[in-house]
């Protein structure tokens, strides 16, 4: 494993202030935009009481996970701007934000897998299975995903960190240990790629079989053709978004595990790459609401409805007061 072994522990400031601002300001901007957008999604769904369906619960929980990711990303970005060297040399200060960041990303991954499985069961229930996902099932899945995410994400706070041991410390995410990053990243990122790929491919195959069956019976297939095309496009977008967002982070962890050079030798290129991977993860938090919950037109329509309801209530109150 790599670490600071045989490296001089020189805590002299090495970050250039212009480079810090060039990386930090875009990170803050993306995180703020993601916070606003996901708060809007959560507020819209709660205000319109759009949580009667199991999938709506999973969608809302996904927005909550993305919101936590954006909050923790904003916290890390502020620490990076105010004291960038602690993101290289590591500090007790970085444990809490990194742990919260890990927890929220894990929760997002588990939510994405749950949504894919729920969509598959919803499409396949009339073909081979009688199992139907209910609200209670969605609530149980949400609870289990958060418990698992908090347990795995907070392991560094429970003692699995390298604040004292330098032999296996990460040079990218100090004071996390390399073995912890490998343990968390490899299986979860692989699942984030494979589970949605399998479920959405199965959905497309089911729709294709239904369309062929209708064609054999001489029935119109325009509806199924449109549904198949829409699902295919959405599925490809979902998978590509996960691939683009998490692959660089996975590559960084693999590099971290195999790297034998000191942190000073990796500056600035590798650390610029590290910050860019964080921005890609936050961009996922912006893309998820668009792909999974609300399109921009739908979001605007629901917000317009809320404004109209509020205006009507104000008028009603004014009439009653008269």
Q: What is the average pLDDT across 176-196?
A: 90
Distance CA 48, CA 69 (A): 25
Q: What is the mean pLDDT of the chain?
A: 79
> pTM to 2 decimals?
0.82
pLDDT band at 303 (very low <50, low <70, confident <90, very high): very low
What pLDDT shows up at residue 289?
A: 74
Quick: pLDDT tens for 190-242. 888 888 888 888 877 877 777 777 667 766 556 556 655 666 666 677 778 88
Higher pLDDT, 317 or 174: 174
pLDDT above 70 (res 138): yes
Q: What is the average pLDDT across 48-72?
A: 83
Quick: pLDDT tens for 149-174. 999 999 999 989 888 876 788 889 98
For the ranges 79-88, 105-114, 211-220, the lowest mean pLDDT is seen at: 211-220
């Amino acid at each position: 494993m790599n670490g600071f072994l045989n490296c001089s522990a020189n805590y002299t400031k090495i970050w250039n202030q212009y480079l810090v601002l060039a990386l930090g300001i875009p990170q803050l901007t993306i995180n703020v935009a993601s916070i606003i957008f996901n708060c809007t999604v959560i507020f819209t769904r709660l205000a319109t009481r759009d949580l009667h369906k199991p999938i709506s619960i999973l969608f809302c929980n996904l927005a909550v996970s993305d919101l936590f990711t954006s909050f923790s990303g904003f916290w890390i970005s502020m620490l990076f701007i105010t004291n960038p060297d602690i993101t290289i040399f590591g500090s007790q200060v970085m444990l809490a934000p990194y742990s919260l960041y890990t927890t929220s990303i894990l929760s997002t991954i588990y939510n994405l897998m749950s949504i894919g499985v729920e969509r598959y069961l919803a499409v396949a229930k009339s073909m081979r299975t009688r199992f139907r996902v209910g609200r209670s099932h969605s609530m149980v899945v949400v609870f289990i995903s958060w418990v698992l995410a908090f347990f795995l994400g907070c392991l560094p706070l429970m003692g699995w960190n390298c604040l004292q041991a330098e032999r296996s410390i990460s040079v990218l995410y100090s004071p996390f240990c390399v073995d912890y990053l490998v343990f968390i990243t490899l299986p979860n990122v692989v699942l984030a790629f494979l589970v949605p790929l399998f479920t959405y491919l199965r959905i497309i195959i089911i729709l294709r079989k239904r369309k062929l069956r209708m064609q054999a019976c001489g029935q119109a297939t325009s509806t199924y053709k449109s549904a198949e095309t829409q699902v295919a496009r959405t599925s490809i977008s979902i998978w590509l978004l996960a691939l683009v967002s998490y692959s660089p982070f996975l590559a960084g962890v693999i590099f971290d595990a195999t790297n034998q050079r000191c942190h000073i030798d990796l500056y600035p290129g590798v650390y610029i790459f590290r910050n860019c991977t964080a921005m890609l993860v936050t961009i996922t938090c912006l893309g998820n609401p668009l792909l999974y919950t609300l399109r921009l037109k739908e979001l605007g329509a629901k917000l317009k409805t809320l404004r109209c309801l509020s205006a009507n209530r104000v008028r009603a109150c004014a009439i009653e007061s008269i």
